[in-house]
Amino acid sequence: MQTSSPRTDRTGRGANAASRPARRYQYSAYLYILPALLIYGAFMLFPLGRAVHLSFFEWDGLTLGTFIGFENYLDIVADEQLRAAFVHALVLMFFFAILPVCIGLVLAALLTRAKVRGLPLFRTVVFLPQVIAMVVVAVTWRQIYAPDGLLNSALRAVGLDAVTRSWLGDYDIALPAVGLIGTWVCTGLVTVLLMAGMAKIPVEQYESARLDGAGPIREFFSITVPSVRAETTVALTLTLIASLKTFDLIYMTTRGGPGYSTTVPSYEVYRRAFELGQVGSAAAVGVTITVIIFIISLIVNRLGERSSA
């Protein structure tokens, strides 16, 4: 959404600056986008508006709702469980966005600069988690993390019995464990994006840097990282949104457990609407996530634009 708004703004300004007769065409132009607008309105804007509307009610989805104003929103601040869910989302942002971008930068730089044989194969392997449905990913990792699963077996095999644990059943470990699944999934996308960016960096830059006596690490920080700022912005936007939207992963691995140690806002939306019968509260959480995602992508894009300018 935020990518299209500046564009319409610009055409608006352009049309305004143009001579008056051009105005007549403006209205007929709306006819062209009308079908798309109608569909967008019916399936996106109307449900969104309806969700906002519902968020002002206390409603069980069955009997008559009660209008309670902003109380559902105040609950988000007051309710300890809901607050925790938003904190968990922050933790997941690290695992879904920050960590993959760091790993992705290094991995992409290595893969681009190393000129290895079979590069397409590496690229495919790294990208693979993106292609697999999240539900499948979650089920597979649940097996890996199981008390007698692959991870614990491997640890036992190398004599690290003390480290083995019930990864998804441990109150302190469950959230990072789920987060690492996200890292595994997101790193591929980030790496491929950054590799595309790095491929565009002129080789001459590296050559001149080397003449100036720069080592590989200096090259990485002085040339590679600044050159892929735009790609990094895109990668961050996508992964941050992914981290805030995470529902399937939580639902399939832990159902927010043990206790409430891995609940996230989007899981709370589902839990409240379908399990607890608190539709209004669910809508309020949903609207809040939407606003947060909107603000975050706005900030990331502003930062990206400013620094690339």
Partner 1 sequence: MMRKRSIMVASIAAATALMLTACTPGSNNANPSDESTDRTVKTDVSAMGDLTLTVWDQEVRGGQDEQMTKLNAAFEEKYPNITIKRVSQSFDDLNKTLRLALSGDDAPDVVQANNARNSMGAFVQAGQIVSLDPWAEAYGWEDRYSESVLTYSRYSSDGVTFGEGSIFGLPQVGEVVGVFYSKSALKDAGVEVPETWDDFTSALKTVKDAGQTPLLLGNIEKWPAIHDFGLVQGALVPSDEIATLGFGNEGASWTTPENEKAASTLATWAKDGYFNEGVNGTDYDAAWQKLTDGSGTFLIGGSWLAADLEDAMGDDVGFFAPTSSVGEGIHTTGGTGLPFTVTSASQYPDLAAAYIDFITNEDAMQVLADTGNLPVVNTADYAPESGVQADVFGVFHSVTTDGVLLPYLDYATPTMADTLGSSLQGLLDGRTSPEEFTKAIEKDYADFVAQN
Please give the Cα distance from 63 to 58 (Å, whole number).
10
88 scored as a contact of partner 1 (CB under 8 A): no
For the chain, how far is it from start to end, CA to CA, in angstroms? Answer: 22
Min dist. Cβ of residue 276 to partner 1 (A):
5
Which residues make Cβ contacts (< 8 Å) with residue 264, sequence separation at least 6? 85, 88, 89, 92, 246, 247, 250, 256
6 scored as a contact of partner 1 (CB under 8 A): no
Size of the site for partner 1 (CB under 8 A): 44
Q: Which of 127, 119, 96, 112 shows the shortest CA–CA distance to 196?
A: 112
40 scored as a contact of partner 1 (CB under 8 A): no
Query: Nearer to partner 1 by C-beta: 246 or 254?
Result: 254
Site string for partner 1, 181-220 (x = CB under 8 A): ----------------------------------------
Segment contacting partner 1 (CB under 8 A): 87-95, 164-172, 187-195, 293-301? 164-172
Q: Which of 86, 96, 141, 145 binds partner 1 (CB under 8 A)?
A: 145
Q: Which of 33, 38, 74, 276 binds partner 1 (CB under 8 A)?
A: 276
Min dist. Cβ of residue 19 to partner 1 (A):
14
170 scored as a contact of partner 1 (CB under 8 A): yes
260 scored as a contact of partner 1 (CB under 8 A): yes
Query: Nearer to partner 1 by C-beta: 97 or 282?
Result: 282
Min dist. Cβ of residue 252 to partner 1 (A):
10
Token digits of residue 59: 């409603």
Min dist. Cβ of residue 126 to partner 1 (A):
28
Rounded alpha-carbon distances, angstroms, from residue 238 to 15, 21, 41, 130, 196:
32, 42, 24, 12, 16
What does the binding site for partner 1 look like in residue numbers (CB under 8 A)?
12, 16, 26, 49-50, 52-54, 57, 59-65, 67, 142, 145-148, 165-171, 174, 254-260, 271, 274-277, 279-280
